Structure 1
Amino acid sequence: MQRVSSNHIATKEEARQSQILIVDDQLSLLQSLQALLRINGYRVDLARSGSEAITKLQDHDYQLLLLDLKMPGMTGFEVLDFVRQAELNLETVVVSGDTSFASIKDSMRLGAYDFIRKPYNPEELLAAVSRALECYHRERETLTIEKSLDRSEQLHRYIVNSSPDFIYMLDAQGVFTYVNDRVENLLGYKRNELLGKHFSSIIHPHNAATSSQLFRERRAGERATRNAEMRLLVNQANECVRSFDNYELIVELNATGVYEQNGVGEKVFIGTLGSVRDISARKRTEERISFQAYHDLLTQLPNRGLFNDRLNQAFAHAKRNRQKFALLFMDLDRFKLINDTLGHVMGDLVLQRVSERILEYLRAEDTLARFGGDEFCLLLPNIPHRESVAAVAEKILKAVRQPFSINNHELYLSMSVGIAIYPDAGETEETLLRSADMAMYHVKENGKDGYCFYCKTLHSDSNFLTTERDLSHAMEKKQFQVFFQPKVDPSYHAIVGMEALLRWQHPQRGLLYPEDFLAAAESSKLMVPLGLWVLRRVCEEVVRWRKQGIPPVKVSLNVSLVQLKEADFAELFIHTLQEFKLAAKFFEVEITEQGLSKGDAEVVKQLRILRDFGISVTIDDFGRGYSSFSYLQNLPVNTIKIDRSFVREIEERCDQTCIADGIAMMAKGLKLNVVGAGVENLFQLDYLRNLGCHEVQGYLYSKAISAQETMTLLQNCPAQGPHFTLPH
């Protein structure tokens, strides 16, 4: 490991004097951080749990704590609370993959100095360590000065003037009678410019009434002002002032009323004593972390979480005011070709340029978000009529068609846009998004490079009707096949399961995948008998494996929401396994996140019956839904499968935290197993293994293969594995 250079790294003397404790339950991360810090001159201790950290904090003096939040047993939040309760003299930097706004807020509330996302950038982490230690040593220096000078009034005044805080005294009328030297650095005023002036001259008009009451505090004791946040005006004539946004300073105020006894022994208010601390740097850090939690870091656009909030606001506003709004689902045409031929770096640049061009044609109240990959979603609130939405779509398409000149490459792009208007195309978030998505795919199927409004006739176009008609004859003509894709232990490269995948050998259209016909199957109610056929076919194949002496392998089947809404689905599933004399523990059902997000009572009931019988339940394509993680706590789920689109985002030499990190952390907290889908290279495999995925599947190991090929593969597998040999 090479030493990382940075302008923020502490001096050798500061590093030598600094003892750091790193707390994380991942040994590989602990060792990596230890090596990085030691090579930069720091002394480092390690703790693999919260309880071990507390023991070391009690036995040793540390200047800095690098702390993970999510750990088994005692969490990082509990460690932070211990540090605060014990009043330990150290700074804390949180290093965590949990970047939710609530976790960041709670960390700061419990006293954390800074927050670094996993996987961390070494430069950024070293800078944060240096800043935290600098703050620690500066405060220690201040404490030392205070202890050595507090016996002398002259020296005491020196301490006050050297304080990092602006200290002031007001008389009973609110006029400054004393200010320390710090006021010039913070607000740009000389001391004599404020002495004799009323304090209101530096109070920001924003919430002036509340701020004035706090700044001129009359209460004393426990009721006095503590850590109140407010804005103060800076002296614009002083160019040297450091301020939050060049005209105001965000500060934290402590103030108390001062009283003395008069001649008859009564307490008389004589003024206010207060101190003001600059917290603009902390606010910038909080804003940076908040931005990262709600935005796509590649394009700087809102991410799915923020978009969902804006969409909920649009629903509420539209219902209240009887207005319409539009949702545009946009997907670049043949974008995969750019990634495959010119590389992902070029692909990222294209996505950035495309987002910039689209933004040029939007209003301030519109919201453009990136959903991942080359998918964008646009919210247009309060639209006057359909034609205005069409005009926006045409402008966007025209902008995207203009050539892109990037790194000496001239690229010609196009985009497919699906449009859904509330309430015509749906009155719920899920329905509206599905309608826009369906309209977008209609554009794809009809030549791409255009837009389409959702309408009910999309359900009955010729292709859809043809598919429905052919489906009705496909089973009796034995055109369906069951393929299997291995699920593999990423540590030992051994097969631990198989996912059954349906294929349709269409006489004219060739081999079709589920996305080509499942919508028609669900619409025509053929999904229920088709699903039962798949189950029986899988059972027949498992029995064949058993007769060949192949050890038992767990098999998962994809189940449609239509099937689960059948009152006897679970009963038929269990009866079929009993008919073939197969153990429930070797079977698993997978349902997409969208199918579970609304918590349909019948669906939950059927899944609970299956799980109580011993059949595992997995959420497939996790992360592509539009619902909150909280619904998982109330569902009978054993496993979540990270959607392949998020696995594709895992790239070597990428400093950004992947969505997969957050999903894995959340699953760990809910004690759920994690499966990674769509693994295509060794870097993705190592990354998912380190995240704690106990199973993976993807083209790195094997694509989905026919039943006969699957049996041959299982027959040739050694008993203990490994079952696959990967390239180095």
Structure 2
Amino acid sequence: MVKRETDLFRATMDAAQVGIFVMARGRFLYVNPYMRSLFGYAEADFIERLGPYDLVVAEQHERIAEQLARRPGGGAVETTEFTGRRQDGSLFTMSVLGMPSRFDGRVVAVGTVIDISDRKQAEQRIRELADFDALTGLPNRRLLHDRIEQMLAAAERDKHGAALLFLDIDHFKRVNDSLGHSVGDDLLCALAQRYVKVVRRIDTLARLGGDEFIILLPEVNAAAAADVARRLLEIAASPFSVGGHALTVTSSIGIALYPQDGKDIDTLLKNADTAMYKAKELGRNTFQFYSSEMNMATLERLMMESNLRQALTEEQFVLHYQPLVSLQNGEIVGVEALIRWLHPTLGTIMPDRFIAVAEDSGMINPIGDWVLFEACRQAQAWIDEGLQLRTMAVNVAPVQFRQAGFVEMVAGALSATGLVADCLELELTERTVMHDAEFTLGTLSALKRMGVSLSLDDFGTGYSSLAYLKRFPVGKLKIDRSFVMDLESDADDQAIASTIVSMGRSLRLTVLAEGVETAEQLALLRKMGCGMVQGFHYSRPLAAAEMTELLRRQPFLHRD
């Protein structure tokens, strides 16, 4: 009777179209043919040799151990999903259901294994249809709303800005009407593939419907949002080959910023849509901010950045020079080189309008290198003419100073122009010097060993440590113009300027006051014991030819 029951059990299990197993002490005692074929092992490989750990990916072994620990008999009472690993290494999703039982007088676990990969793929497809656009594969309107809510919640929590871009393809209806909807659909897919290359991993590119796309940009400011919009326009500019047709398309983009243009989904979408229509009114193939004031500021910045890249190659930069005058006798002992941008249509652009843009766009290094080489060249030209010039002072931007190879670049400029090192004075702001003071000390020391003079610009506006100031090989302190401007009437400015002069003299440093415009300021500085000045009282910055004449005449010598 027992044999007949056993034979009946095996015949039934062998015919089953699900995997069936009997397991004890972590090893399989029986597996049916379906389970063997499911994992690709022969019966001899399974029995008493393999256990559940051998059939599941390593990342899920801890889950198996937890279940076995809770059920000393090896059984399970709930269905659990695992990632199965076949003998050939391929993976699939399986559902495992087990329960305790007895087999040949032993406590065992009897269970089933079902391959649910098809069901999982179907569920994933259902989710994709619910959350993603069927044509382009991008997030659809439903998922977009979820992403916007997450972005706004994070922006409010972390006090970050964010941007929403509303992009609409210009004249897309013409493509559908003239070439058919299938070509239009292929064009939308091709555009989506290009747009994906522009956004970051934390951004969201979604298709709102038709030819409308939305781009969510968390943790960005207006300039960064404008840069993304510009690149979206550029990347779509080259022709597409779709359905045997060469097509060129443009788009219009509206930008709404969080929180100034809206703090909720509906407001941001509405305002970005409004800005997009402004872009269309302006002729398409452009972008607009919802705020007109933002448009003006950002577009000017983008124009400045774009033109900066041409300015160097087209030789639009020039240097002007302002004399550095000794208060001992009125001699012009040096000059400070000051850059000017001679724009072909905008005229002369002063550095306070473009230096910050150059720093943010990465252009400050090549511009700064050009200034250094040109200043050294001009200084040597004056010396070759027999003019007395002890110092050519050149401002160094923080980013330029911290670039790799800065010391070598300075050495190259001196070598290429023939200027002796002690004629060159590099001006660094107090903040530049104090940023990573130990690194700065090494660079300054290398420059000093080369023979280059060093000056601390804008002194008094930063946060210098006197201990570091004592260690830095600086030869000159420049009193910032903000302390000189009201020197005649402001007792605090007088006290600050006098303190800087006294400090400099105590440390055996030359002190120069910049921004000197009146005889009264000059008299006070001379009384304090200030050694040098520069400013409009003596001369505005001059072009090289005018500065040549001033150096030749020395008109301030023994004048005061």
**TM-score computed with the length of structure 1 as normaliser:** 0.35
**TM-score computed with the length of structure 2 as normaliser:** 0.45
